[in-house]
């Protein structure tokens, strides 16, 4: 039977910190904070004319850190989308990796700097590279989940996507396939209200992306995407389900992109400043910080230490990437075209 759940209620009232040990809670906070500081620097570097392009995870940190925490790193497959900076950092991507990508320098791990930034991949963490056309990653992830099932291993495949891209045919095909074959697949939709300038109510006539899960025959769960522990709990339930052979889950994390779509976008043309300011008050990092402070897990001194460490890592990564050489021009087409055949 198809199930579409009501919006998942955070169980924090019963389990204030999702049953996670203090070190894991602090690690979650660290991943979110470091991602934000890297992201802020990327915007600055762009406005200084030092990098060509940036697309931001700002506002999505809780959705992504919570999702990463529910996975077995280096074991499960992850097919991210371009906004997943916090997710890939949580899985092992480093600040240097990120900055090498922004500067297009030699040593960039995903493609030797041949791709645009934010086309993440990381072999050691089973993070699979995606194409630029949105939603193509869904078929890739469903295929990986099928492979996991055929091999009989206990891996799951996670695909991330924005709510706008769920209008694409490949999203429907991938989710349908995953449900029909009861695959160990999780689709995490990061619903940030906009697909560039197009608001969500111009994308679909139902209030939640997760409402569509019923049509595939899989559970659909709505979760507060700015509450890292609520996302973790929803994702953990979906991962456990997939690992137990019970099939796929559609998780929709409701969040908001507090900056323009990318460094090429001017969001003043399609949304009000009041709306943006309202969502800034729901900042996922400040919310989690307050929770940790209230639980006595983060003192002001520890907070300062986290900030200093994040700034130091960002500074070091920027210096490293700026000093790195550009890739050899002769390698520009490497990995793109097969070697030319020998002349007869």
Ligand X SMILES: Cc1ncc(C[n+]2csc(CCOP(=O)(O)OP(=O)(O)O)c2C)c(N)n1
**Nearest Cα residue to 87 out of 61, 106, 112, 111:** 61
Report in angstroms how near the CB of residue 234 gets to Mg ion at its nearest.
19
Binding residues for ligand X restricted to 114-153, rule: CB under 6 A: 132-134
Q: Does 163 bind ligand X (CB under 6 A)?
A: yes
- DSSP codes, 19-82: T--HHHHHHHHHHHHHHHHHHHHHHHHHHTTSSS-----TT-HHHHHHHHHTS-TTTSEEE--T
* Residues in region 137-166 near Mg ion by CB under 5 A: 162-164
Which parts of 261-280 interact with ligand X (CB under 6 A)? 261
Quick one: which of 31, 110, 118, 192 contacts Mg ion (CB under 5 A)?
192
Residue 196 binding partner per list ligand X, Mg ion, none, with a CB distance cut-off of 5 to 8 Å that depends on partner kind: ligand X
Sketch the per residue contact string, 166 through 195, with ligand X: x for CB under 6 A, - otherwise.
Answer: ------------------------x-x-xx
Distance between CA atoms of residues 80 and 130, nearest Å = 7
* Partners of 157 in the β-ladder: 77, 185
292 binds ligand X (CB under 6 A): no
The set of residues, in sequence order, having a beta carbon less than 8 Å from that of 142 and lying 6+ positions away, is 157, 159, 174, 175, 177, 178, 183, 185
Give yes or no for a contact between 170 and 237, defined as CB atoms under 8 angstroms apart.
Answer: no
State the catalytic residue, choosing from 270, 271, 282, 287: 270
- Note whether 83 binds ligand X by CB under 6 A: yes
Show which residues are catalytic: 257, 261, 270
Q: Which residues bind Mg ion (CB under 5 A)?
A: 162-164, 192, 195
Q: Which residues bind ligand X (CB under 6 A)?
A: 83, 132-134, 162-165, 190, 192, 194-196, 257, 261
């Amino acid at each position: 039977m198809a199930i579409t759940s009501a919006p998942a209620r955070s169980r924090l009232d019963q389990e204030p910190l999702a049953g996670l040990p203090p070190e894991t809670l602090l690690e979650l906070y660290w991943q979110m904070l470091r991602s934000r500081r890297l992201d802020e620097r990327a915007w600055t570097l762009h406005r200084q004319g030092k990098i060509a392009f940036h697309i931001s995870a700002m506002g999505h940190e809780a959705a992504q850190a919570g999702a990463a925490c529910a996975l077995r790193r280096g074991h499960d497959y992850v097919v991210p989308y371009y906004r997943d900076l916090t997710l890939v950092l949580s899985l092992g991507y480093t600040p240097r990796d990120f900055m090498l990508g922004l500067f297009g320098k030699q040593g960039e791990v995903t493609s030797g700097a041949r791709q645009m930034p934010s086309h993440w991949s990381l072999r050691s963490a089973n993070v699979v590279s995606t194409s630029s056309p949105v939603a193509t990653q869904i078929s890739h992830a469903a295929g990986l989940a099928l492979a996991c099932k055929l091999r009989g291993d206990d891996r799951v495949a996670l695909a991330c996507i924005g709510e706008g891209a769920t209008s694409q045919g490949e999203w429907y095909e991938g989710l349908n396939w995953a449900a029909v074959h009861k695959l160990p697949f999780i689709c995490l939709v990061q619903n940030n209200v906009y697909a560039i300038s197009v608001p969500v109510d111009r994308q679909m006539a139902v209030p939640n992306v997760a409402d569509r899960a019923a049509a595939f025959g899989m559970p659909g769960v709505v979760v507060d995407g700015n509450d890292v522990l609520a996302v973790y709990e929803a994702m953990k339930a979906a991962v456990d389900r997939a690992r137990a052979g019970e099939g796929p889950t559609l998780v929709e994390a409701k969040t908001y992109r507090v900056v323009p779509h990318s460094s090429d976008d001017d969001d003043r043309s399609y949304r009000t400043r009041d709306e943006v300011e309202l969502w800034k008050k729901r900042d996922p990092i400040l919310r989690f910080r307050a929770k940790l402070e209230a639980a006595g897990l983060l003192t002001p001194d520890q907070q300062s230490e986290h900030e200093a460490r994040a700034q130091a890592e960002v500074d070091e990564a920027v210096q490293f990437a700026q000093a790195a050489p550009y890739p050899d021009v002769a390698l520009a087409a490497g990995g793109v075209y097969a070697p030319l055949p020998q002349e007869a």
